[in-house]
């Protein structure tokens, strides 16, 4: 079994797909190695691909007043990004940059939309994981220094309530 197929089988977003469906998806997915500092796409760019994080860490940046870019989230293995532009039919709303070497799996927006329409449970799983990624947004606070990042991690579990 090739390593891309193995990574697809392990990715949490695709766990509602059968092995057969993933096998059919495999020829339409490519792998890309990323280096520290490499920009995957820039805010305002046209959407081209949808990405799954197989390995590494990425930073999501948004331009604010004066053209400065602010970190708004971090992405880890098992996360995905690039879907919003396809769903909203708009240019990229953020910049994504690698802050750790890693590997991305990617497919066209058309393939993503096909999966959402045809693959049972895929759209629901995407919404569930997307919500988890959003709740992990980067927070800022008064007095925060350049380069400091505060992450808001939330988890709903009954043990945490005790």
Say what percent of the chain tops pLDDT 90: 48
Burial degree of 142 (CB within 10 A; 0-12, 13-18, 19+): exposed
First to last CA, the chain: 45
pLDDT in tens, 96-122: 999 999 999 999 999 999 999 998 889
Choice among 2-6, 86-90, 139-143 with the minimum mean pLDDT: 139-143
36: pLDDT confidence band, cut at 50, 70 and 90? very high
Most confident of 75-84, 127-136, 145-154: 75-84
Kindly report the three-state secondary structure assignment for every residue of 27-43.
HHCEEEEECCCCEEECC
What pTM did the predictor assign? Answer: 0.81
The C-alpha atoms of residue 48 and residue 55 are separated, in whole angstroms, by 21
């Amino acid at each position: 079994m090739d390593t891309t197929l193995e990574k697809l089988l392990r990715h949490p977003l695709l766990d509602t797909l059968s092995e057969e469906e993933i096998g059919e998806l495999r020829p339409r997915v490519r792998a890309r190695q990323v280096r520290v500092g490499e920009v995957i796409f820039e805010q305002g760019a046209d959407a081209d691909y949808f990405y799954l994080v197989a390995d590494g860490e990425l930073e999501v940046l948004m331009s604010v007043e004066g053209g400065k870019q602010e970190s708004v989230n971090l992405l880890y293995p098992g996360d995905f990004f690039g879907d919003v532009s396809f769903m909203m039919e708009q240019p990229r709303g953020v910049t994504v940059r690698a802050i750790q070497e890693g590997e991305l799996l990617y497919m066209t927006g058309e393939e993503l939309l096909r999966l959402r329409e045809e693959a049972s449970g895929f759209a629901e799983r995407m919404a569930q994981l997307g919500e988890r990624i959003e709740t992990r947004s980067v927070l800022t606070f008064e007095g925060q220094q350049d380069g400091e990042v505060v992450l808001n991690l939330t988890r709903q579990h009954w043990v945490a309530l005790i």
